[in-house]
């Protein structure tokens, strides 16, 4: 259990470091874009797949985020990453609140509405025939 807790703490530190990397001027554009996407999703107060959905709800937290973090870290130059990790360590030591991303939350809500709308378009002809 301690190993899992340590891994989760390290993951949180890497997310904050990616947040700093996304703003760093020497981070390559591809790494910035991927870092912004990963950090925006991680710091969003709403998940793409809600946690109450059995099994799938935690899939993004356990699989997708670590993969996104791993891939992004591979694209960032080592010196930039070390500098940003040091910034992140200071940030976490000060116990500052983690950033929230309400734009990502709005995008996720918009995606859910789009999916619901597409489902409605797909079901509407069947429902009309069934109700008549």
**Tokens for 8?**
């989760």
- Give the residue numbers spanning the domain of 113: 2-131
**Tokens for 56?**
């799938």
Cα 78 vs. chain centroid, distance in angstroms? 22
Count other C-beta atoms under 10 Å from residue 104's C-beta.
20
What tens digit of pLDDT does each residue of 91-112 get? 888 876 666 667 666 777 787 7
pLDDT given for residue 39 in this prediction: 86
Average pLDDT over residues 60-76: 87
Structural domain count of the chain:
1
Q: What value does the mean pLDDT of the chain take?
A: 83
Integer CA distances (angstroms), 41 to 3, 30, 77, 81, 101, in order: 25, 17, 22, 20, 8
% of the chain surpassing 90 pLDDT:
25
**Tokens for 109?**
């809500």
- For residues 101 and 39, the answer to whether their CB atoms sit within 8 Å is yes
What tens digit of pLDDT does each residue of 4-38 get? 677 777 888 888 899 899 989 999 999 999 998 88
């Amino acid at each position: 259990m301690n190993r899992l807790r340590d891994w989760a703490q390290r993951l949180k530190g890497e997310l904050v470091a990616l947040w700093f990397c996304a703003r760093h001027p020497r981070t390559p554009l591809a790494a910035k874009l991927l870092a912004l996407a990963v950090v925006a999703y991680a710091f969003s107060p709403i998940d793409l797949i809600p946690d109450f959905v059995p099994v799938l709800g935690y899939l993004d937290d356990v699989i997708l985020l670590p993969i996104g973090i791993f891939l992004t870290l591979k694209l960032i130059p080592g010196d930039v990453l070390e500098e940003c990790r040091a910034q992140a360590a200071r940030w976490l030591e000060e116990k500052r609140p983690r950033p929230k991303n309400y734009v990502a939350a709005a995008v996720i809500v918009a995606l859910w509405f789009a999916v619901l709308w597409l489902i409605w378009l797909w079901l509407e002809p069947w429902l009309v025939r069934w109700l008549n």
